[in-house]
Structure 1
Amino acid sequence: MEVICVEGKTWSLQLENMGLKGNMNVEILEASPALRTLSLMNNKFEVAMFNVRKLSALKALYLSDNDFSGEIADDAFKGMRSLKKVLLANNGFTGKISSSQTMLLKLLMLRLEGNQFVGVIPDSRHNLKVASFANNRLEGPIPPSLSHMGAAMFSDLLRASAEVFGSGSFAASYKVVMVMYDEPVVEKRHKQMNNGVKQDFDEHMRKLGRLNHHNLLPLSGYHYMKDEKLLVSNCIQNGCLATHLNGNDKPRLDWGSRVETIKGVARGLSYLHKELPTLTLPYGNLKSSNVLLDHNFNPFLCDYGLAPVINQEQIHMFMAAYKSPEFALRGRISKKTDVWCLGILVLEIVMCKFQENYLNPNYDHNESILPSLVSQMVKEKKSKLRV
């Protein structure tokens, strides 16, 4: 909790990561007419958005990562002439995007990704520097006023300072801080994606961008280049599951957290199989390093649905599904292969031990990994499974 006062007046109120829920009493905030910043991010509000028009002096409104729901009225932001930043990402808002947002002449940042908005993106009169509408149910073309956003965003990404997150044969990951974003993003550069038709690549990325589930890491953007492809997503600060299973530089997960992680992964995988029925491998690369954990240890799946755009001659070298017994013995994969990957992951989580040997290119598929893992677990007296 952070409260900033200037000359006895409340200018900023930040109530983040506090588990808050219920209705918001705007009347109390009306008593602070000088309030410039209000942040309720990362809480548990499950109600419709309150009447923000009563806070007419606001310059920044941060409501992302809650469970706000319902439609936002067309006049919700009418008269809020000072508003520069509106963050409503990762909630449950429905209906059309409020037309009153297009009238905010000073608006610089608008993030609406991860909701259930429908219809078209309205054209606007403001000079947005950052905008995100991914992972909704929107349709139609990008309006002229926003047509510059894609090129500008990736131009900034290519110039921005970056911290190496990880580098491997499949992709190199970078943590990138852009001037206009309040939070860093993760940029993955893939060199092993095929050089097929750009239109087909765009269509598949848009399909992945429309996915919306609380256990999937949303695809925030992408960029097609001849030699490599860039995929952009939010940065999940608590790292991947594999590092917590190793226990070297991250705290190990307690039993309750491990059970909830398994449930979240299973829900996310089930959603992918439901929403991507035409793909042989709706996930394709399920492994502990592709399960990210937030500050509450909620799991987010990443690198999903990429099999169609990976070089088919080399895909067996990079994706976890191609380490399965059915591919080793019969040279084929199916939707059930994702379930095999889930089984391996469950064993890792139960044992709280990262099993990296089966992902090694030199792994001997003639060795039966499942019995050996269970046998090892029993020997270590860690076989306290609830069937």
Structure 2
Amino acid sequence: MPAKLRSITEPLLKWYDRHHRTLPWRSPPGEPRADPYRVWLSEIMLQQTTVAAVKPKFEAFLARWPSVEALAAAQDADLMAAWAGLGYYARARNLIACARVVTAAGAFPETEEGLRALPGVGAYTAAAVAAIAFGEQATVVDANVARVAARLFAIETPLPAGMAAIREVVAEITPADRPGDFAQAMMDLGSAVCTPRAPACLACPLSAACVGYASGAPETYPTKLAKAAKPQRYGTIFWLEDRGAVLLVRRPPKGLLGGMRALPTGPWAAEPPGLANAPEAAEWRMLDGTVVHVFTHFRLELALAVGTAQRHSNAGEWWPIADLDSAGLPTVFAKAAAACRRAR
């Protein structure tokens, strides 16, 4: 092993052996590779979501669907409801599609290339599953790994353009032995030590090899271009109540929050629509204040309208208000429902 590689991998893996996070989808350091179903499920859940938010959801999923075959047999609506709160709902649709492909094939592919062909499995997820579950010397780069690598080698190219250089150096330092542990060690180091602000360099096992630390300003890496302001959209959410139940609708299967139960709302537009998209005639009352939710590509501000149904229509599902938490509403609709219930 080249001296440069050894100066990074050996202290990092020794640190990981002592300080690794205990997570329900991981095997302990140095032990047999983790179950690919658990690794894949966790990696899909962890996209744009914190470990703290994922742990209880992961455990609930595993209790309900303990294998990829069980998940493949799930009803789409049940899966979407169980996913509520994790956001980025296209992941849930791809999750069940992938489970069905894997079940039909009899097992997960064991290579990064084969994993990349599965529905909803991108370059990062394929590399993570290949390394952690199958021991392939794959280049695993999430946000934590990117930050560690950018500081370790003082990569000055701003993100996202700098990701190419980051991937190159991570590929160089990823060992053939214990590549899964190495990837998870880099993740844990970025989470606990090499943090975005005030990195704990004196506690870092790689400080002796870190160019960013030697520069005296490791927190300046990785550099990022200024983000453009997100577009603003508006809408109205309608709380239509009748005899202790509220009207819920199913969003179209494709698109944002596709297939999820939701409170009725019209299109989200550049100007506030008021009552233009009400689901039916009612004596609507606009509530004071709005609900704001920020998606990846835009900021959404929603006015709230409450009313009592004049007839118990068949426009959607009439869900018992007392049991609304079981409907699996996406976060934006759950926030709106909570505001409407408080104002009733």
Name the structure where helix makes up a greater proportion of residues. Answer: 2
Instruction: Indicate the TM-score class for this superposition, using the shorter chain for normalisation.
Output: under 0.3
State the TM-score, normalizing by the size of structure 2.
0.23
**Greater share of strand:** 1
TM-score in terms of structure 1 length: 0.22
